[in-house]
Each structure stands twice: as C-alpha cells, then as structure tokens.
A and B are shown apart, each in its own frame.
Chain A
C-alpha cells in the first residue's frame, strides 16, 4: 500500500514537473534570443550599429540582408566566436553561456569539420562536445542523405555534401533551437527544396529556427518573422506578414480598361489605383481586398473581367523599397 502511494506521488510529481516545463517554454519564456543595442567594429569598419531585436519561441526568424550587411557577425557574437564592441545578448532570458550553446544546433557561415576525418568521426566529435549520444548519428545522417558516404573523408566531399553534413550536425540531439547561416549555400535545386522542407518540418514540430539569408524568396517561403539588416543597421524587424505585405494588390483586366477605370471611381476602400502593363492594379490595406465585391461591382456596371488576381507585394520589391531609401 505504501509503495503504491509512493508510486502515485512520484507520478504526480513527474507529470506536474513536465507540465510546468511546458508552461515555462510556451508562456514564461518570452524570447529565445534578445539582442540589445549591439555594436561591432572591425578596426574602423562598423559591422553592426545599434542592433536590437528579439526572437519569439516557436518562430522561424529570418535575418535578411545583402552580402556584408552583418548577418554572420551578429550570429557569431551570439555564439561567442566574436566579441561585441558594445551591447547585450540574452539567450533564453539569461546571460549566454557554453551550456546553452550545447542546446542549440548551429551552422555558422561555412561547414567547419576536420578535413582528415570521416563524416562519422566528425559527428562523433560534435556529439561528444554537445553531450549527445553517438547513437543519434545514423538518424541525422539519414535525414540529410549522407548515410552511404558516412565513412568517406570530409575532404572528399562536394560543397553541397559538406553543407548537408553541417546541417546533420545541427540536428544532433534534436535541439529545440537551431541557427542556420545561409543553409542552402552550395546546394543544388533539389537540395535547396529538401532543406526548405526540412526547416518547415522542424517549424511544425514547434522548434525555433533562426536563419540568416541573402535570398529573399528563401525568407519569404519559410520565415514567420524577419529582421532586415543593411550595412550593419537594423532597418526593421517583426512578423513577416506585417513587414513584407503591408499592401494587397489586386490585378484586374478587361477588354476595355478605359471604361474599367471610369467605373472603379465609384468603388470604395482601395487606397490607390495604378495602370500597369496589360492590367489595372488596385492597392488595399492588408487583408481588406474582397475579390467578389470587385467582380460584382464591375459586372453590375457592365464590365466583364477577364483577369482578377490578388497579389501580395513580393519580398523583393519590399526589400528594395526598404533598402534603397
């Protein structure tokens, strides 16, 4: 009877403990990474100027910027391989330390492995440093399709294979947070698609992913949040939908666009109308364009539309708009 009671008490304790852990991660943990007023100088060059943002748990956070904008410098400081000139970093709401890095799978800039060792041996070293069991190695190699080449020396790998091995190393121990710096570098189109699928899959498993990229469509396709860097200055950061699609654009076309423009004057709610090549563009605030109403309005006024399409403003347009001012 006593043992039975102990058993019950133990399980209640375990369940409440794990529940509080989940609660902590979802509610109390406000930010995976917080960057506050970060500066970094390389001699006279200012690589980062007063950068601040925070990464919410469970997001795919894109750090977007052209080459040399400071993305890798920023992540290097977070990972303690570079020293900040000024400013603060907080990981999981705490001062960063080495044990926290063990809980984060990180690919920074280039795949860094011992060139004279095989993939298997390299991952054994990475697993040992992270404090993960070697038994996880076959799983991660399989995830990036390197199982067959696991005993080849790293120096014999192609650029794409090196990149995939680096991603495998990030996945060791199934960490909750991952940092990918240019994850699709050197990969062929199939490889790029695979990595994007992998990132989406990890996101759906509830992982937080911080991803630096100069590829606009990459960020647009996989990220939930974005920070845009230009020459070391943070231009903007936040929800990807708020930052990138601040306008809905409806493209319409008919056989008589002059008459179409006339009747659009009596249509409400849009912010501006623009005549583009082969179509008329109507601009709306985010998520306010109602295609059915537009169609109905035109039809009621004697215009039959042969083209009606809602377009989010592309990231590329937005990026140029943001960085070229």
Chain B
C-alpha cells in the first residue's frame, strides 16, 4: 500500500486545485471558529448573567472540543470537493484507464483512493484537534481531555462526507454533475427529506426518522452545542447513530468498490 500511496502522492503533488482547496479548508476552519468565538465574546461582555449562564462557556475546556468540531463540521463539503475533483479528473483525462492499463488492478486503484480519503479524514481531524486546543487556551481555561471524543465523531463525519463524494464520483464520473449533486444532497435534499420524515406519523417535527438519513446520522453525532436545556426534542441515541454511521460507511465503500470493479472504465 505504501508503494501505491507514493504513486498517488506523485499525482496530487502537482495538482493545484487540490492544494488550493486544502488551504481554503484549513483557513476556513480557523476562520469559522474565530467568527463564532468573537460573537461569543461580544455577547458575554455586553450582557448580564442570565444570557451567559445559558450560553455557558463553549470555548473553554472541555466544551471547546464540542464547539469547535461542531462549527468545523459545516466545512466538510470542502474535503468532499477535493475528493470529487481529484477522482473525476482521472475520468476526464482517462488516466484511471491508463493506470489500469499500466498494471494496477481495479481493486488497487479504488483502494488507494479510499486510503487517501482516510488520510485526509485523519489529517483534518488532527487539524481540528489543534484548533480546539488553540481556542481552548485562548479563552483562558485549563487544558482537559474531557469530551475529546468529539474529535473522533468529527473523524467519522469527515470520513462519511469524503466517502459519499467518492461514491458520487464513481457513479457519475463527470465533475460538474457530481459536485452539483453533492452540494444539492448535503445542503438541501437531505434536510428536506429529513423534515418530511420527521413530520410524518405523529412526530413533533424536530426529531424522528429523518435523523437517521446518511449525513444526518453522522451530523447528529455532534449536536447543536448551545442552549442545551432550551431546545425541544430528544437527542437520538449515540449507539444507534454509531451503528448507522458504520452501516452507511460500509455501503459507500461497498458500492464504490463494486461499481469500479465491474463497470466499463
């Protein structure tokens, strides 16, 4: 696998789009959290104790793990985009065919892409980990590993978004359409479907079967971090979410590999 990854590295090393997106992703993680941090500071300074007690101290340890992973998770479409562009790029220039012709098996081609996805998910989790430490210390609290499991949830989210991106790229093959569908699904279709599902069968409207859709189930691993007592509805069980995430991750993997191994390239 190391040899295959070295070849993958040769491919992406000179691929500008990939690095521009990667840089944007990292800058945005720092940026979006700074934005939230700033607002929080503004509210705290200009208000009385009641608001502050509801807000809590989201950027202090241990809550900072939750808060930073929550805000960072909104940016996971960027690594998804990196995956889609680098894979559909192979389709556009038929280099996936050439890799097979030159002596990779179809299995090796798709597995090295999945290895790349895992690496990207690990690296983005590490970066979010460092970002959380940064804001935690910035807010003047004492370092703590309590609630650090949110970094793990974030890793699962990153993996899920990237594998969905892989699946769409392998199924659609064309970059424009894949990107369009990826955005449409992750921002609109799934939320829409979720709302419909949650409003059926006598549900209250905020929780229900819609929480268990592919992306919602990983998104719900890291719930909205503020006003915990004020938001109505119940948080789905973490074990159910774990199980569902695993099922969806496996499906993305299985369908992508199977499709790539059997289709005409």
B230 within 8 A of partner (CB): no
Query: Which chain A residues in 99-124 approach chain B with CB under 8 Å?
Result: 99, 101-102, 106, 108-110, 112-117, 121, 124
Contacts of A129 in B (CB 8 A): 7, 99, 102-104
Q: Could you say which interface size class chain A belongs to? A: 20 to 34
Does A80 belong to the interface (CB within 8 Å)?
yes
B262 within 8 A of A: yes
Contact A81 B6, beta carbon cutoff 8 Å: no
**A108-B97, A125-B7, A125-B11 as given contacts; A82 in contact with B105, CB under 8 Å:** no
In the complex, which of the residues B3, B102, B264, B265 contacts A126, with contact meaning CB atoms closer than 8 Å?
B102
C-alpha gap A130/B103 in the complex (Å): 6
B contact residues around A108 at 8 Å (CB) = 97-98, 101
CA distance A115 to B6 in the complex (A): 19
**Complex contact A113–B93 (CB within 8 A):** yes
Q: Determine the distance from Cα of A115 to Cα of B92 in the docked complex, in whole angstroms.
A: 10
Q: Is the CB of A80 within 8 A of B100?
A: yes
Query: Residue-by-residue, is B123-145 near A (CB-CB < 8 Å gives 1, otherwise 0)?
Result: 00000000000000000000000
A98 CB-CB contact with B under 8 Å: yes
Q: What is the bound-complex CA distance between A109 and B98, given in angstroms?
A: 10
Would you give the 0/1 interface string for B71-99, flagging 1 where the beta carbon is closer than 8 Å to chain A?
Answer: 00000000000000000000001110111
- Give Cα A110–Cα B264 distance, bound, in whole angstroms: 16
* CB-based nearest B residue for A98: B105
A285 located at the interface, meaning its Cβ lies under 8 Å from any Cβ of chain B in the complex:
no
The residue among B101, B103, B104, B264 with the most chain A CB atoms within 10 A of its own CB is B101
- A97 proximal to B (CB < 8 A): yes
The secondary structure that dominates the B interface is helix
CA distance A113 to B94 in the complex (A): 8
Shortest A127–chain B CB gap in Å is 9
For residue B14, CB closer than 8 A to chain A, the reply is yes
* Smallest CB gap from A106: residue in B: B101
In the bound assembly, the distance between CA atoms of A89 and B3 in angstroms comes to: 29
Choice from B6, B11, B14, B98 contacting A112 with Cβ under 8 Å: B98
CB distance from A81 to the nearest CB of B (A): 4
Query: Given the known A-B contacts A82-B264, A124-B10, are A112 and B100 also in contact in the complex, defined by CB atoms under 8 Å?
Result: no
Q: Does A79 contact B (CB under 8 A)?
A: yes
Question: Could you tell me which residues of chain B, from 9 to 32, have a CB within 8 Å of some CB in chain A?
Answer: 10-11, 14-16
A81 to B106 alpha-carbon distance, docked (Å): 9
Question: Given contacts A81-B265, A129-B7, are A114 and B95 in contact (CB under 8 A)?
Answer: yes
Residues of chain A lying within 8 A (CB to CB) of residue B94: 109-110, 112
In the complex the two chains form, is B105's CB within 8 Å of A114's CB?
Answer: no
**Given contacts A121-B10, A125-B7, A125-B10, is CB(A115)–CB(B93) below 8 Å?**
yes
**Residue A131 at the chain B interface, CB threshold 8 Å:** yes
B108 adjacent to chain A (CB < 8 Å): yes
The interface bits of chain A over 130-141 (1 if a CB of B lies within 8 angstroms of the residue's CB, else 0) are: 110000000000
B109 to chain A, nearest CB (A): 10
Contacts of A131 in B (CB 8 A): 103
* Cβ of B87 to closest chain A Cβ, rounded Å: 13
CB atoms of B93 and A81 under 8 A apart: no
Cα of A129 to Cα of B104 in the assembled complex, Å:
7
- Contacts A81-B101, A126-B98; A116 near B16 (Cβ below 8 A): yes
Known contacts A81-B97, A98-B104, A98-B105: does B7 contact A117 (CB below 8 Å)?
no
Least distance between B206 CB and chain A CB atoms (Å): 47
Contact of A80 among B6, B16, B106 (CB under 8 A): B106
Q: Report the minimal beta-carbon distance from A119 to chain B, rounded to whole angstroms.
A: 12
Q: Are B265 and A101 touching (Cβ within 8 A)?
A: no
Of the residues A98, A106, A113, contact of B108 by C-beta under 8 Å: A98
Shortest distance from the beta carbon of A206 to any chain B beta carbon, whole Å? 22
> In the complex the two chains form, what is the Cα distance from A109 to B102 in whole Å?
14
Given A82-B265, A114-B11, the answer on whether A101 and B93 have CB atoms closer than 8 Å is no
Rounded to whole angstroms, the CA-CA distance of A99 and B103 in the bound complex is 6
When chains A and B are docked, how far (Å) is the Cα of A233 from the Cα of B61? 73
Write the nearest CB–CB distance from A159 to chain B, whole angstroms: 15
B15 lies within 8 A of A79 (CB): no
Contact A128 B7 (CB under 8 A): yes
* A115–B15 alpha-carbon span in the complex (Å): 10
* Complex interface: chain A residues within 8 A of B99 (CB): 129
The 7 closest A-B CB pairs, nearest first, are A102-B103, A112-B98, A98-B105, A112-B94, A129-B102, A81-B265, A101-B103
Residue contacts A-B, CB under 8 angstroms, 23 given? A79-B100, A79-B101, A80-B100, A81-B101, A98-B105, A98-B108, A101-B100, A102-B102, A102-B103, A108-B101, A110-B94, A112-B95, A113-B98, A114-B15, A114-B93, A114-B95, A115-B93, A116-B15, A117-B11, A121-B14, A125-B11, A129-B7, A130-B103
Taking Cβ atoms with an 8 Å cutoff, the residues of B that contact A are 3, 6-7, 10-11, 14-16, 93-95, 97-106, 108, 262-265
The chain A residues found within 8 Å of chain B, CB to CB, are 76, 79-83, 97-99, 101-102, 106, 108-110, 112-117, 121, 124-126, 128-131, 169
